[in-house]
Amino acid sequence: MSPKASPTPGRTMLSPQDHALILIDFQSQMAFATRSLDSVLLRNNAALVARAAAGFKVRSILTTVAEKSFSGPMFAEITEAFPRQSLIDRTTMNTWEDAAVIRQVPVFILHLYDRALLNAAALRAVGYTKDTPEPPGMATGTQR
């Protein structure tokens, strides 16, 4: 007997409530060296993703690096999709080292051997507060 396919959506499909889109460094100077994709296609693809996210009301974070001093503004094709969205302009090239970004973006890292690391945004996303009791066999703490 062969398996039969069904068009029934899975219970774990993404929804606007359980994920976010982060658009990082979509700026002319940052895209200048991109050769794997034509620049017009790059901008059109970014616009398509941005408009889809805005249309489905997906939480979106827009971040640039050194907008005023070096890289220029985020592509208008993206910002037009989010007319009331503020951008996070970073001073560091590494998005994950910027305090303004990591306050908003949940980060969960599961280490293969012995631990999981979550930032404050991830703890908020799962409903963890200072009053949440520690699960049996688990220790929580902060790294200084």
- Tens digits of residue pLDDT in 85-116: 999 999 888 887 788 887 777 666 665 555 66
On whether the CB atoms of residues 101 and 95 are closer than 8 A, the answer is yes
On whether the CB atoms of residues 52 and 19 are closer than 8 A, the answer is no
Residue 17 has pLDDT above 60, yes or no: yes
Query: According to the 3-state scheme, what is the secondary structure of 22-81?
Result: EEECCEHHHHCCCCCCCHHHHHHHHHHHHHHHHHCCCEEEEEEECHHHHHCCECHHHHCC
User: Which range, of 10-14, 88-92, 132-136, averages the lowest pLDDT?
Assistant: 10-14
Residue 143 has pLDDT above 50, yes or no: no
Q: Which domains does the chain have, with CATH numbers?
A: 20-104 (3.40.50.850), 106-144 (no CATH)
**What is the SS3 assignment for 90?**
strand
Q: Which of 93, 84, 101 is nearest to 65 (CA)?
A: 93
Q: If you average pLDDT over every residue of the chain, what do you get?
A: 80
- The token duo for 64 is 């640039």
pLDDT score at 105? 72
pLDDT score at 91? 87
Residue 142 has pLDDT above 60, yes or no: no
pLDDT, greater one: 113 or 130: 130
